[in-house]
């Protein structure tokens, strides 16, 4: 049962990716194939959430999907780090 729902989830992801522009598809492929680099680079972002949001908007406007993905990863790591810190207190 678990394997079936996992496969269904992967099919949905694949379908969603196919609907993206080619540049965005290439960015996702790049992120997946360089995941360790992305993780290391984005673990401790020095930027505030406001700065990240500003740069995300700029990346969207320029269709710079790799930058957008990196900023989203940095924001996710930052939010997860904040949640972990709050849970520890």
Spatial contact of 65 and 26, defined as CB atoms under 8 Å apart: yes
C-alpha span between 40 and 31 (Å, rounded): 12
Question: Which pair of structure tokens corresponds to residue 72?
Answer: 């989203």
Q: Give the pLDDT confidence of 56-83 residue by residue, as tens digits.
A: 999 999 999 999 999 999 999 888 877 7
Torsion of CA 24, 26, 32, 37, to 10 degrees: -100
pLDDT confidence of residue 64:
96
pLDDT confidence of residue 85:
65
C-alpha span between 25 and 9 (Å, rounded): 18
pLDDT confidence of residue 24:
93
Is-above-0.75 flag for pTM? no
Q: Give the pLDDT confidence of 2-40 residue by residue, as tens digits.
A: 677 889 999 999 999 999 999 999 999 999 999 999 988
């Amino acid at each position: 049962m678990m394997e079936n729902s996992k496969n269904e989830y992967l099919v949905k992801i694949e379908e969603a990716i196919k609907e993206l522009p080619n540049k965005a598809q290439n960015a996702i492929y790049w992120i997946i194939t360089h995941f360790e680099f992305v993780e290391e680079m984005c673990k401790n972002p020095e930027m505030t959430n406001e700065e990240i949001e500003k740069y995300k908007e700029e990346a969207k406007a320029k269709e710079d999907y790799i930058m957008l993905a990196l900023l989203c990863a940095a924001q996710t790591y930052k939010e997860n780090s904040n949640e972990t810190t709050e849970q520890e207190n």
